[in-house]
Structures are given as structure tokens and as C-alpha cells.
Structure 1
């Protein structure tokens, strides 16, 4: 009977040792998996924060783009309206010029018959230049605003 008790006792101890090793193995796995889970959760939170920041910036950039695109369109419309007004004769361009006497002497105090005027090509070039100045100015202001609001954040 003593031998059977020793075998049962040895088997119980062996079972306890094996169970302790298994528990320790699964405990280590659980700790490792928990650490991996926490690391991945942190990475996911960081990725979500980055995505949120990018979405906010995209909305801000779209608003800036819309604002300055509308400004450029308004400036172009205003310039087109002015050009139509000048072309129709309702408005005139003021220029600082003197009319030559055309080789004829005129009485003092009398105006020449013709007033100073730009040629058609000079008038067209004037409006082209004005349009380009308005476009570049609008683009430059928009880019400066973009740099201040987006790049320097």
C-alpha cells in the first residue's frame, strides 16, 4: 500500500508541476498578447488622430481654395464689366497725356479737336495686364494665407 500511495503522490506532484508549467506558459502568452494589444491600440489611436487632423486640414484648405477662387472670379467679373463699359463707350479710361498739335498752330485757349485716347491694342493690353495683376495678387494672397494657416501649424 505504501508503494501505491507513493505512486499516487508522485503522479499528483508531477501533475501539479505540469499544471504549473502550463499556467506559467499561458500567463506569459497572455501578458505578451496584452502588450501587443495595447501597442496596436496606441498605434490605432495615433492613426485615427492623424486621419482626423488630415481631414480637418483638407476642409480648411478647401475653404481657403473656395474663398480665393471666388475672389479671383469676382475680380475677373469686375474687370470684364469695366472692359465692356469702356468698349461700349459708357465709361472711359483716364490717361495722363497731351495731344500733339499735329503741326498746326492753334489759337491759345482753344482745345484741340481730338482728345487723347489709347489705341485699341493698347486698351486691350491694359485690360490683359490688369487681369493678370489681379490674378497673381489673388493667388499670392491665397498662398500666403495657406502657408500661415496650414504650413506653420
Structure 2
């Protein structure tokens, strides 16, 4: 009976050792998987926050772009209307100029002076210059706001 008891005791010890090893192995795996899960959850949270921030920034940039695109379109329309009004005679460009009579140099009085007027090419250049000034001013304003709202946050 002692041999049988020793064998049962040995088998029980082996089973307990095997079970302890299995329990320890699965516990280690569970801890490892939990750490991986926590790390993945943290990365997912960070990715979601980044996506949300990017979406907010994209919305803000779109609003800023729409604002300045609209202002630029309005300014160009105003300049185009002014140019059409000048061309039709509805409005006039006011100049500080002295003009000799009929393009000749000389001393003249009130009666021989023609009204000062820009040449056609100078008039086109004037409106082109106004349009470019408005465009550059709006672009600089847009970039200034973009830097303040998007880059300095």
C-alpha cells in the first residue's frame, strides 16, 4: 500500500505542478494581452483625438477660406463694376493733371485746355493694379488669420 500511496502522491504532485504551470502560463498571457489591449486603446484614443482635431481645423480653414474667397469675389465685382461705369461714362476717374490743348505744349488759358483723361492702356492698367492690390491684401489677411487660428494654437 505504501507503493500505491507513493504513486498516487507522485501523480498528484505532477498534476499539481502541471496545473500550476498552466495557470501561470495563462496568467502571463492574460497580463500580456491586457497590456497590448491597453496600449491599443491608448493609441486608438490618441488617433481619434487627432482625427477630431484635424476635422475641426479643416472646418475652420474651410470657413476662413469661404470668408476670404467671398470678400475677394465681392471686391473684384466692385472693381469690375467701377471699370464698366467708367467705360460707359456713368462715373469718371478723377485726376490731378494739367493738359495742354490738343496734346501740344504751350501756355494756355482756360479756353484751350482739354479735360484730363488717362489713355486707354493707362486706364486698364489702373484697374488691373486695383484688382491686384485687393487680391494681395485679401490673401495676406487670409494667411494672417490662418497662422493665428491654425498654426499658433
With normalisation by structure 1, the TM-score equals 0.93
Question: Hey, what's the Cα distance between the residues in 2 that align with 1:33 and 1:103?
Answer: 97
Quote how far apart the aligned CAs of 1:98 are.
1.1
- Match of 2:99, SS state, is coil
Task: Name the structure 2 match of 1:86.
Answer: 86
Deviations 1:50-83 (A, max 9, x none): 0111111011111111110111100000000000
Quote how far apart the aligned CAs of 1:6 are.
1.4
Question: Hey, what's the Cα distance between the residues in 2 that align with 1:86 and 1:119?
Answer: 13
- Match of 1:94, SS state, is coil
Task: Name the structure 1 match of 2:140.
Answer: 140
Structure 2 unaligned residues grouped into runs of 5+: none
On the 8 A contact 1:99/1:112 being kept in 2, the answer is no
Structure 1 unaligned residues grouped into runs of 5+: none
Quote how far apart the aligned CAs of 1:142 are.
0.5
Q: 1:24 aligned to 2:24? A: yes
Question: Hey, what's the Cα distance between the residues in 2 that align with 1:24 and 1:149?
Answer: 55
Question: Hey, what's the Cα distance between the residues in 1 that align with 2:141 and 2:46?
Answer: 34
Quote how far apart the aligned CAs of 1:104 are.
5.9
Question: Hey, what's the Cα distance between the residues in 2 that align with 1:72 and 1:55?
Answer: 25
Question: Hey, what's the Cα distance between the residues in 1 that align with 2:108 and 2:66?
Answer: 58
With normalisation by structure 2, the TM-score equals 0.93
Within 5 Å, give how 1:28-39 maps onto structure 2.
Answer: 28-39=28-39
Aligned length: 151
Task: Name the structure 2 match of 1:121.
Answer: 121
Within 5 Å, give how 1:100-119 maps onto structure 2.
Answer: 100-101=100-101, 102-103=104-105, 106=108, 110-119=110-119
Question: Hey, what's the Cα distance between the residues in 2 that align with 1:105 and 1:10?
Answer: 134
RMSD of the alignment, in Å?
A: 1.4
Quote how far apart the aligned CAs of 1:9 are.
1.3
Task: Name the structure 2 match of 1:98.
Answer: 98
